[in-house]
A = this chain, B = another copy of it.
Amino acid sequence: MFFIAPYDTIKKTEQGGNALKYTIGIDLGGTNIAAGLVSEDRKLICKKSVPTQGKRPAEEILRDMADVALSLIRENGLDGKDVTAIGIGCPGLVDSKNGVIVFTPNLPFRNTDVRKAFREYTEIPVYCGNDADSAALGEAYAGAAAGCDSAVMITLGTGVGGGIIINKHIYSGFNGAGGELGHMVIVKDGEPCNCGRRGCWETYSSATGLIRMTKTAMQAHPESGLWKLAPSLSEVSGRTAFDGLRAGDPTAKEVVDEYVSYLATGLTNIINIFQPEVILLGGGVAKEGQFLCDLLMPQINRERYGRDVPQTQIRPATLGNDAGIIGAAMLGY
C-alpha cells in the first residue's frame, strides 16, 4: 500500500474537535485503487493507493476499496461522524442513482451493488459515478473550472473521453451512458473507430490519432527532422509532432496543423451544442497545455456560433490524476 504524504492538515476547533467535514474519493482504475480524503472546502488532505489486482473476484476488490477508505479516515484521526460520504469513480457504465456498477471493462464488476457491498464495512453513504465524469466534476469543484456552473472536460488519451457538468452536477443521460463526446462523427464515412462507426472525433483527436498522423507524415517525408526525435516508427508518441514543431520542422508543423484542425472542429461542435462556461482539456496530449490552446483558438474563434455573447473558455485541466479522486469525493454533493 502506497501512502502519500499529506497535502494539507486536518483543521481543529479551539476545543480540539474537527472543524470541517470530509468525504472520501476512490478512483478505481485497472491498475490501482487510488483514494483520497477531501475536506468540505475542496482540499485533498492526503491520498493512498493499493494495486487493484483486477483478476480477483469483485468482492475482494470491494473489500480493499473499503479498507483503503476506512484506513484514510482512521489514520487521519477522524471517525465515521466526520466523513459524510464515500464516492467511487470507475471506468464503464454506472447506475449512479442506485450505486451500482453496471459494467467495467477489464474488471469483474457486472451489475455490482457497491452501495450494498460497502454496508458490510461502514454506514457512511456511498455514491458511484463514471471516472471521466468524476474527473470533470473534480475540475469543476477544485480545478481549472472551479466556480463554473457548466463545464465540459475532454480527455485526450488513447481515446477521447468526455465529462459534462451542468449546474455543478454530472450529466450522463437518462441511462448513464451519455457524454461519449469522442464518438461524435465529424467525418462521415471517415476513419474506422473501435465503436463500430466511421469518422468519430476520437479517431482524429486522440493520442492514437495523432500518432497515426505523425507516422504517416514521417513515411511520406524521409527527410523530416521528426526522424531525429523518433528514429523508428515504434518510438513515435503524442509528443513527437509537437516537439518537432517547436524544433522548427515543417513536416511536424503540417501534422500539428492537421491534428489541431480536427480537434478544433470537435471543440467548436461542443461549443455550439453546450456553450459551457469552460471546456477543459485533460489527458496525455493536453500536457501541451496553453501552447495547444493557443493553436486551437484561431479556428474556434472563426467558426463558433454566437459571437456577440460571452464566450466559452478553453483551458488545460490542472488537477491531473487527482481530478478523479476529488471528483469522486464530490459525487454525494
List residues of chain A with CB under 8 Å of any chain B CB. 93, 102-103, 148-150, 162, 166, 171-181, 183-188, 190, 195-197, 261-262, 265, 268-269, 272-277, 302-303, 305-306, 308-312
Nearest CB of chain B from residue A204's CB, rounded to whole Å: 8
A172/B303 in contact, CB under 8 A = no
Nearest CB of chain B from residue A167's CB, rounded to whole Å: 8
Nearest CB of chain B from residue A109's CB, rounded to whole Å: 14
**CB pairs A–B below 8 angstroms (29 shown):** A93-B308, A93-B309, A102-B309, A149-B174, A150-B173, A171-B274, A172-B275, A173-B274, A173-B276, A175-B306, A176-B275, A177-B305, A178-B274, A178-B275, A180-B272, A180-B305, A183-B272, A184-B184, A184-B269, A185-B186, A185-B265, A185-B268, A186-B188, A187-B187, A188-B265, A195-B305, A196-B302, A196-B303, A197-B303
Assuming the contacts A188-B262, A265-B188, A268-B197, asked whether A309 and B274 have C-beta atoms less than 8 A apart, the reply is no
**Further 17 A-B residue pairs, CB within 8 A, beyond A175-B309, A188-B190:** A166-B166, A173-B276, A174-B275, A174-B276, A174-B310, A175-B275, A175-B311, A176-B309, A177-B275, A178-B272, A178-B273, A181-B272, A184-B184, A185-B265, A186-B188, A188-B262, A195-B305
Instruction: Give Cα distance in the complex from A269 to B269, angstroms.
Output: 11
Mostly, the A contact residues are: loop
B residues less than 8 Å from A305 (CB atoms): 177, 180, 183, 195
Nearest CB of chain B from residue A311's CB, rounded to whole Å: 8
B residues less than 8 Å from A183 (CB atoms): 272, 305
B residues less than 8 Å from A308 (CB atoms): 93, 102-103
Q: Which 6 A-B pairs have the closest CB atoms?
A: A173-B275, A177-B306, A178-B275, A175-B309, A180-B272, A184-B269
Assuming the contacts A171-B166, A186-B188, A303-B196, asked whether A273 and B181 have C-beta atoms less than 8 A apart, the reply is yes
A309/B177 in contact, CB under 8 A = yes
Nearest CB of chain B from residue A103's CB, rounded to whole Å: 7
Instruction: Give Cα distance in the complex from A273 to B204, angstroms.
Output: 17
Nearest CB of chain B from residue A227's CB, rounded to whole Å: 29
Instruction: Give Cα distance in the complex from A176 to B312, angstroms.
Output: 12
Instruction: Give Cα distance in the complex from A310 to B177, angstroms.
Output: 9
Instruction: Give Cα distance in the complex from A188 to B209, angstroms.
Output: 16
Nearest CB of chain B from residue A302's CB, rounded to whole Å: 7
Instruction: Give Cα distance in the complex from A138 to B197, angstroms.
Output: 33
B179/A273 in contact, CB under 8 A = yes
B residues less than 8 Å from A196 (CB atoms): 302-303
B residues less than 8 Å from A179 (CB atoms): 273
B residues less than 8 Å from A273 (CB atoms): 162, 178-181, 184, 273
Instruction: Give Cα distance in the complex from A204 to B130, angstroms.
Output: 34
